[in-house]
A and B are shown apart, each in its own frame.
Chain A
Amino acid sequence: MKKGMKNLMAGILAAAMLTGAGQMVMAEDTIKVGMVTFDSGADAYQSAYYDTMLSHAKELGVEIQLLDPAGDATKQQNMVQDLIGMACDVIIIWPANSETAIAEVKACSEAGIPVVAANTDVAEEGQEYVTCFVGPSNRLEGQNAGEAMVEEIGTDAKIVEISNMAGYTASIERMGGMHDAIEDTDIEILDSQPGEANREKAQQVMENYLVKYAPGEIAAVFCYDDTTAYGALNALEADGRDDVLVFAAAAGNYETINYVKNGKIRAISMQSPIIDATTTLDVAVNVAKGEAPAEYLNFIETPAVSQSNIDEIELEAW
């Protein structure tokens, strides 16, 4: 029994010591930022965002408590409560779900802590409790990339799309933006299936599409993030088909940039997690100091990027 207990204790102690990520600067006047993310392990964008948050906090000299609910909306709510208990000066929330976030921001407001919504906005009913929003405009992103697509394939074509996880707010907004872009055209979306932001699953969906639609039947496939685009691309290359063009909203990974440069992905709307995180933290620190931005919506740039203008855009690889 002693051995078992010892092992258990050792295990827990070891885990505690592995917490290299915690910022334990105990200076009284340091601004304490609390943040709850969405799902840092899910994709490269979110990992980069997470890492940037930590490194930028170090640069600014603020203390940051960064919690990750792994995509679970109720866990996120619990974490927000924990952050309130830790007496943060400002809390940044990247809502796992815009509607369930309403209760979270209400709780912060009742506790007197200002809230910044990051990357995905809180639902309308909750916005009165939020100081401001910083992040990409998902709708605009979808629209930018959508418009780039219309320019390339014309106004009378058939396309397919591969969505992200079903019920994922950011993805839904991007889709809305893309659909807006094609609304006045005769472009028809023949099929829409979720690829779950998983490269392999997206590849399988695309492969199924390619069997279903003979060459020439569809002009393009629209994806809603990097990983989905790679999956689609892989399927196209494996099949040797080049009649279907790939477009993506909310992309911009190092790999993606290469693909845009050589034309394999025709156009994307670029979203950089580094800019996203840095801007958000800057604004949050200002809010904590009492200097909230004038506007509620503070969008980061998400320009449409294609082979033609890629050399003009400043890129930071992530």
Chain B
Amino acid sequence: MQQSGGNKVLGTLKRQGIVMALVVIYILFAIASPQFRSLRNVILILRQVATIGVMAAGMTFVIIGGNFDLSVGSLLSLCSVLCIGLHDRIGPVPAMLVAIIAGLASGAVSGFLVGYLKLNSMIVTLGMMNVIQALALMVTNGRSVYLEDTDVWFCQIGKGNIAGFPISAVIMILYIILMAVILMKRKYGHQILSTGGNAEACRYSGIDDRRVLLKSFVLSGLSAAVGAILLSSRGGSAQPTVGQSYEFDVITAVILGGASLAGGSGNIYKTFVGVLILGILKNGFVMMGFPYYVQWIAQCLIMLVAVYLDMMSKKKKGAA
């Protein structure tokens, strides 16, 4: 039976529970606060979520694989201080390369421990988080690092605009599309989805699940490094503890996006929806003038409701 265009759209929306939640939340805030719905604010939110957006895209791969990466917060700190600390000494591009290498290396270590040694990812990445945070503090001796001059092109990454649109948001969107393509169209994406679903079955079909899991962590590490570039270029400085507790926001975003914590399913675009929800909440609450503790309680309720709705919509899809 041919559904009319409108019905199709409605049907799609109904199935995508979390997108519904995003729209509802946005509308609620927009009605409540005129400043919230200004174009300026929309652009601000996009700029503010750039770092988490990039990191959540990478984390999606890890979670699809059935693991957690708790080290991304500290990795963000380390890569940020490397970027800024080395910028004046060896130049912006080498500094960014060093940061990216650090992200890849850390991801590789975590990936090896989880993928090859089959250690528990939560505890391992907790350990890595401690080690990396200690490194960031050691390297800077506890002090913040900052650029001599913040008018360099490096800072334009975080501060600048293209046609009124923040460059960091553009980079985030391009990165997300890249990750989504990898997940949905490339062989690796297929591999990680299968491995997360059933690692043993994959082994029988010839997929090296150890390699696949290792790569998922490398992607997460890379994302933290890119996020660090976006973050540190905004202010031209880096505190060695800047990334503390980022990992929970990142993982929350991925979960809001509907990725199953048991592994085997996930969608980068939906993760981005989760990122937007978090960003809107943080921004919206300040616009509304809510005290911070109300934000936490609201975040609690919204998370539960959003995930429940998404769960229900998935069930319906399954039944139909």
Contacts and interface: CB of A to CB of B under 8 A. Distances in A.
Chains A and B in contact, CB within 8 Å: yes
Given A194-B292, A208-B44, A211-B44, A43 B287 contact: no
Interface string A180-210: 0000000000010110001110011101110
A203 B232 CA distance: 12
Nearest to A318: B143
Contacts of A211: 35, 38, 40-41, 44, 287
Given A211-B35, A211-B40, A234-B234, A199 B287 contact: no
A171 interface: no
B94 interface: no
Q: Dominant SS at the A interface?
A: helix
Given A44-B144, A193-B286, A211-B44, 18 more contacts: A41-B137, A41-B142, A44-B142, A46-B142, A47-B143, A199-B235, A199-B239, A199-B242, A200-B239, A207-B48, A208-B287, A211-B41, A212-B33, A212-B287, A230-B237, A234-B234, A234-B235, A238-B234
B235 A166 contact: no
B241 interface: yes
B292 A193 contact: yes
B240 A41 contact: yes
A227 interface: yes
Interface of B: 33, 35, 38, 40-41, 44, 48, 137, 141-144, 146, 159, 231, 234-235, 237, 239-242, 244, 282-283, 286-287, 289, 292-293
Given A193-B292, A211-B38, A211-B40, A231 B235 contact: yes
B286 A208 contact: yes
A203 B146 contact: no
B237 to A, nearest CB: 6
A50 interface: yes
Closest 8 CB pairs of A and B: A47-B142, A208-B286, A234-B235, A44-B143, A211-B41, A41-B137, A212-B35, A211-B35
Given A46-B142, A50-B142, A211-B35, A200 B289 contact: no
Contact of A198 (B35, B41, B239, B282): B239
A204 B239 contact: no
Contacts of B48: 204, 207
Contact of A200 (B141, B234, B292): B234
Q: Which of B137, B292, B293 has the most CB of A within 10 A?
A: B292
A52 B175 CA distance: 44
B231 A200 contact: yes
